[in-house]
Amino acid sequence: MGSSEYVARPLNRTAKIYVAGHRGLVGSAIWRKLESEGFTNIIGRTSAELDLKDRGAVFEFFASEKPNYVVLAAAKVGGILANNTFPADFLSENMQIQVNTMDAALEHNVERLLFLGSSCIYPKMAPQPLKEEYLLTGQLEPTNDAYAIAKIAGILQIQSIRRQHGKAWISAMPTNLYGPGDNFSPMGSHVMPALIRRYDEAVQNGATTVVNWGSGTPLREFLHVDDMASACLFLLEHYDGPEHVNVGVGSDVTIKELSETVAQAVGYEGSMEWDASKPDGTHRKLMDVSKLTAAGWTAKIGLHEGIQQTVDWFRNNRESFRG
Ligand code: GDP
């Protein structure tokens, strides 16, 4: 991180901060983090209260609430099958959410805004680990290209608003996230919640075989959402540059290794099979996190510990989990 991009500028704990998407995996973790750091004026709206695709409603909301800061953690997200099946929805809904929220935030003079994307913005064949500068250097992974294009447009919107309006707005690109509050829907979720639910149900039903998707050979990096929330606040208070910043742990595991770890955490002792008719997606998307670590932030929650904590959360929230 260049020294000119480094700012030690604490956020005002009593200023109004709007967490868009505060019921989601990331938004709810950011909300908890802000509360624990002493923020006293955090606001959120459920999607039933405020549909961020409704441009008029978004402008009315900003006009009446006038937040000082915004964390834009609202998005339509999903696992590989959902992205591959509903690309038009992922592109259109994410574009609308971002454009409406950033336009309204600009009109109402929001001082600092953090936009969140995803590691799928990088070209499928980019060298690993993925550096920020590899953005827009090649073709995207086809299973989630529509979602990725929406997120790339968001990064460009941040950069353009900085250039044209001089706003100290920034973007962060997390790797695959997991943790309490995730979406556990079997068809729509990401791999971690899918495996937790599948293995837990196998234990409950006494099943001796489970079937996972793809070949098990792709590699993925996993960041606990509480670490992500900590990185978000760190960036808001320390980073002021046009380039997005990767957020990850800097190491990855194969999907097969992940499923073995989840099986162990859940107490599943049966066998696992692989359904090759389901897509593998990109082979690897390990983040280069040196830009963030150079500024002084690193992830704290190890994968085993994070998985165990998420399994415990899932088992304690069977009645209320999403999906
Ligand atoms: P991705 O990182 O965008 O590919 O998203 P996912 O988290 O959905 O998938 C990651 C990898 O896990 C892919 O290679 C999937 O094929 C694999 N996988 C194995 N079992 C499952 C499952 O039950 N659900 C999902 N979503 N992925 C699975």
Cα of 140 from ligand 1 centre, angstroms: 17
Q: What is the pLDDT of residue 319?
A: 78
Residue 1 banded pLDDT, cuts 50, 70, 90: very low
Q: Reply yes or no on whether the pLDDT at 6 is more than 80.
A: no
In angstroms, rounded to a whole number, what is the distance separating the alpha carbons of residues 252 and 272? 21
Q: Do 129 and 196 share a domain, yes or no?
A: no
Q: Alpha helices of the chain — where are they, by DSSP H?
A: 25-36, 55-65, 80-85, 87-107, 145-165, 191-205, 225-238, 255-266, 290-294, 303-316
Q: Are residues 134 and 275 in the same domain?
A: no
Quick: pLDDT tens for 233-290. Answer: 999 999 999 999 999 999 999 999 999 999 999 999 999 999 999 999 999 999 999 9
Identify whether residues 108 and 147 lie together within a single domain. yes
CA distance 266 to 191: 15
Q: What is the pLDDT of residue 249?
A: 97
Is residue 170 domain-shared with residue 137, that is, in the same domain?
yes
How many domains does the structure of the chain reveal? 2
Q: Is residue 184 part of a domain?
A: no
For residue 211, what is the domain's CATH number? 3.90.25.10
Ligand 1 atom 3 nearest Cα: 80
Shared-domain flag, residues 209 and 89: no
Amino acid at 71: V
Using a pLDDT cut of 90, give the percent of the chain over it: 94
Residue 186 lies in a domain: no
Q: In this structure, are 57 and 115 located in the same domain?
A: yes
Q: Is residue 268 part of a domain?
A: yes
Residue 113 lies in a domain: yes
CA distance 242 to 257: 36
Convert the pLDDT of each residue in 93-145 to its tens digit: 999 999 999 999 999 999 999 999 999 999 999 999 999 999 999 999 999 99
Is 112 a domain residue? yes
Question: Ligand 1 centroid vs 117 CA: distance in angstroms?
Answer: 18
Give every CB contact of residue 36 below 8 A, 6+ residues apart in sequence: none
Whether 214 maps to a domain, the answer reads yes
From 18, 122, 147, 239, the catalytic residue: 147
120: left (phi over 0), alpha (psi -120 to 50) or beta: alpha
Residue 152 lies in a domain: yes
pTM for the whole structure: 0.96
Closest residue by Cα to atom 22, ligand 1, is: 191
15 alpha carbon – ligand 1 mean position (Å): 39
- Over residues 218-241, the mean pLDDT reads 98
Q: Say if residue 320's pLDDT is above 90.
A: no
pLDDT at 25: 96
Instruction: Give the domain CATH number at 98.
Output: 3.40.50.720
CB 275 within 8 A of CB 212: yes
Query: Which amino acid, one-letter code, is at 115?
Result: F
* Residue 185 within any structural domain of the chain: no
Ligand 1 surroundings by CB, under 6 angstroms: 79-80, 120, 144, 176, 189-191, 194, 212-214, 218, 220, 255, 278-281
For 23-53, the pLDDT digits (tens) are 999 999 999 999 999 999 999 999 999 999 9
Residues 244 and 200 in one domain: no
Residue 221 has pLDDT above 50, yes or no: yes
Q: What is the mean pLDDT of residues 13-29?
A: 98
- Pair 139, 196 in one domain: no
pLDDT beyond 90 at 321: no
Same domain, 204 and 125: no
Do 175 and 203 lie in one domain? The reply is: no
User: Do 128 and 27 share a domain, yes or no?
Assistant: yes
**Mean pLDDT taken over the chain:** 96
Tokens coding 90: 């992922």
Which mutation among 77, 175, 191 tests ligand 1's pocket best, with the greatest number of atoms within 8 A of CB? Answer: 191
Shared domain check, 243 and 97: yes
| Host domain of residue 32 | 3-179+222-251+286-300
122 assigned to active site: no
